[in-house]
Amino acid sequence: MIQNITDLSRKLQRGKLSSRALVDESFDAIAAAGAEGEKAFLTLYQDRARRMADWIDQGRKDGMNLPAHAGIPIAIKDLFDVTGEITRAGSRVMDDQPAATQNAEIVDRLERAGFVVVGKNNMTEFAYSGLGVNGHFGTPLNPHDKTTPRVPGGSSSGAAVAVSDAMVPVAIGTDTGGSCRIPAAFCGIVGFKPTSMRVPKTGAIPLSKTLDSIGPFATSVSCVAVLDSILSGGSGDDVESHPEGGLRIGVLDGYVTEHLDDAVGAAYERMLTRLSQRGVRLTPLTIPELADLPKINSKGGFVGADAYAWHKPFLETRADFYDPWVRARFDAGKSQSAADYIELGETRARIRALVAAKQALFDAVILPSVQIVAPTLAELEDSDRSNAINLLCLRNTAVGNFLDVPAISVPCHAPDELPVGAMLFGMTGSDRKLLSIARGLEQVIRGR
């Protein structure tokens, strides 16, 4: 499957490819993946997607003025509302809830742009983990290791697997502490977290209304930029590549470079060397205050409080329907007081201002996306160890959510290695500038 949506768009517009052929190719790839396809997708819209594809193809033949990307397949995370069906969020808890009466805003935006939604992707139950494990519907395995079962990363697990394994060209997930960037790093693709308020969250089941954001998965920065434009209400424009030479990049160290495993450390250092050789001005950047984040969030942080508030009615009436591992995580929100929550907000504002002053000296900041390569399923069999691994996976990505900055993960590993991601941060609200910088540096980061 061609996975560059700009190329697909050109072929569709020139009549060298049909939307129906693309949609059929997606469903064929999902079927060919067998059990992994079933675990990557919880819902498939085969009849509806094929009808939409046929309508688009006929419209092109009839000379209709269709959107540039009309006819391209896309998948969405299982927590976005689709009219007429229950939104499950990877859970059994919602089975008795009424069907959605309207689409999530981002679903409407994608469909107005002509994308054909082929299905809903699996995810960690209620998006509450960075590992991608789902005890209800099974865990889609990381497609980059065919010999040892490894997690895909979460919570947008199925979306990353579907793109990485060429079931769809692109997919949409959410990111509260790393749920787009962790699976992108583990699965060797590009994942983007925008500034939180950039993309409307109407019709998406929340994890933390304070930190949630909605972002895309793709195989290139260019494709991510197109989707970011559409998701944020634009027309689907790409960004220009920012020239490499003279870019000022702060290389964040300390808290975010502790506990790197050998594979991540080696790939990351090779990538920094490539950037320096291409004329990028790299400067060490230390932000000691980030080391306080575990203590700041020790009572559960925004996620703990926000998630508990939303789930409280279900925990009181349908607690047995939760995965026990996920249900236990809601306990962190119970103990927070109003004073704790207010203090957390004030602390966040102080640290954001401090970091913004340091960020302003650079065009972007770079750091490893995740400290480790994708863990094996066997490593998660012990609950204490799985909790520790989950926290380690979230360690770097959660910084971006706490600061509310745009952040993108781009693969930086060698072709014969397990995937490793390099992450770029931008200033709050500077999403398009960050995407332009990432596009300009993408081939160097990838080692191409």
Between the alpha carbon of residue 318 and those of residues 92, 98, 164, 264, the distances in Å are 9, 15, 35, 41
Domain boundaries, the chain: 5-231, 248-446
d(CA 344, CA 325): 26
Cβ proximity of 142 and 187 under 8 Å:
yes
Superfamily of domain covering 5-231? Amidase signature (AS) domain (3.90.1300.10)
What is the secondary structure of 194-206 as a DSSP string?
--GGGS--TTB--
3-state class (DSSP) for residue 74: strand
pLDDT tens series, the chain, 448 aa: 788 999 999 999 999 999 999 999 999 999 999 999 999 999 999 999 999 999 999 999 999 999 999 999 999 999 999 999 999 999 999 999 999 999 999 999 999 999 999 999 999 999 999 999 999 999 999 999 989 999 999 999 999 999 999 999 999 999 999 999 999 999 999 999 999 999 999 999 999 999 999 999 999 999 999 999 999 999 999 999 999 988 999 999 999 999 999 999 999 999 999 999 999 999 999 999 999 999 999 999 999 999 999 999 999 999 999 999 999 988 878 889 999 999 999 999 999 999 999 999 999 999 999 999 999 999 999 989 999 999 999 999 999 999 999 999 999 999 999 999 999 999 999 999 999 999 999 999 999 9
Read off the pTM.
0.98
Judge contact between 169 and 223, C-beta under 8 A. yes
The angle, 0 to 180 degrees and rounded to 10, between the axes of the packed helices 221-231 and 105-112 is 110
User: What CATH number is given for 248-446 in this structure?
Assistant: 3.90.1300.10
> What DSSP state is assigned to residue 15?
T
Task: Provide the terminal-to-terminal Cα distance of the chain, rounded to the nearest Å.
Answer: 21
In the numeric block, which tokens belong to residue 353?
């201002």
HSE, CB side, 13 Å, CA atoms: give it for residue 218: 24
Residues catalogued as catalytic: 77, 155, 179
Same fold, 5-231 and 248-446: yes
Q: Rounded to the nearest 10 degrees, what angle do helices 5-13 and 221-231 cross at?
A: 70
Torsion sign (Cα): 77, 81, 83, 85: positive
